[in-house]
Structure 1
Amino acid sequence: MRRLIGSMLLGFAAVATAAGCSFSTGGVTVAKDDVATEISNQLKQEVGRAPESVTCPSDLKGEVGATLRCDLQDGGDTYGVTATVTKVDGTNVKFDIKVDDEPS
């Protein structure tokens, strides 16, 4: 099961940089829990199910180019996930996600 999950995540990692996530916030940051939820939702759409958990250490700054590293737990493995802000329009922050190719 672990290998299958890893393969699915690797498949997602190849397309993640092209898939943007839009999320409206109340300010110029996206709350860390909202970033984690959006990452989980994107993975569910791409690979058919959400990972066991996604945690982010801090909020994502609503500034183009800002990045946030999060941890994705699934099948006993931990993968890094990078969220990178690509567009900010008022309180709407768009960011791409990229899952690491290998578990950490």
Structure 2
Amino acid sequence: MTTARLSAATSILSAVAVGALLVGCSASVSVEKSKPKLSADKLATIVAEKLAATTGRPKPDIACPEDLVGKVGNTTRCRLTADDGSTLGVSVTVSSVDGDQINFDVKADDTASPAAN
């Protein structure tokens, strides 16, 4: 009978020790929600449309070098190329993000660079 009591006591102590280990451990995983992104091509199209609407002129030829990540304050520089080959820098700055919607401001430089010869 002493063997049965020792086995039972050992089992109870083992269960308590395992329970204490499980209760004493915790884990947390933080997964950062991915930020929305606007492709460089789509950004160029939207910038061209905004500039055309603002100036009342046809959509200019715009090229953007990179995707725009939807984080307030992120910026990128696009390039407007005129019919005569001159270029104008255009700054794009994220002003707000609402879910997957990226809102941004567009500002063209004051002076253009002449066409390359």
**TM-score in terms of structure 2 length:** 0.62
Alpha-carbon offset, residue 47 of structure 1: 1.3
Percentage of identical aligned residues? 40
Unaligned runs of 5+ in 1: 1-26
**For 2:73, what is the secondary structure of its paired residue?**
coil
1:84 corresponding residue in structure 2: 93
Q: How does 1:68-83 map to 2 (within 5 A)?
A: 68-76=76-84, 77-83=86-92
Which of 37, 55, 61 matches 2:45?
37
Alpha-carbon offset, residue 78 of structure 1: 0.1
Q: How does 1:47-66 map to 2 (within 5 A)?
A: 47-66=55-74
Supply the AA of the counterpart residue of 1:45. A
Alpha-carbon offset, residue 51 of structure 1: 4.3
2:99 is equivalent to residue 98 of structure 1: no
What is the alpha-carbon distance in structure 2 between the residues aligned to residue 52 and residue 28 of structure 1? 26
What is the alpha-carbon distance in structure 1 between the residues aligned to residue 108 and residue 53 of structure 2? 14
Unaligned runs of 5+ in 2: 1-34
Supply the AA of the counterpart residue of 1:56. C
**TM-score in terms of structure 1 length:** 0.70
Residues 52, 44 of structure 1: alpha-carbon distance in 2 compared, 3 angstrom cutoff: closer
Alpha-carbon offset, residue 52 of structure 1: 3.8
Alpha-carbon offset, residue 33 of structure 1: 0.9
What is the alpha-carbon distance in structure 2 between the residues aligned to residue 95 and residue 52 of structure 1? 18
What is the alpha-carbon distance in structure 1 between the residues aligned to residue 56 and residue 47 of structure 2? 13
Higher strand share: 1
2:26 corresponding residue in structure 1: none
Supply the AA of the counterpart residue of 1:97. V
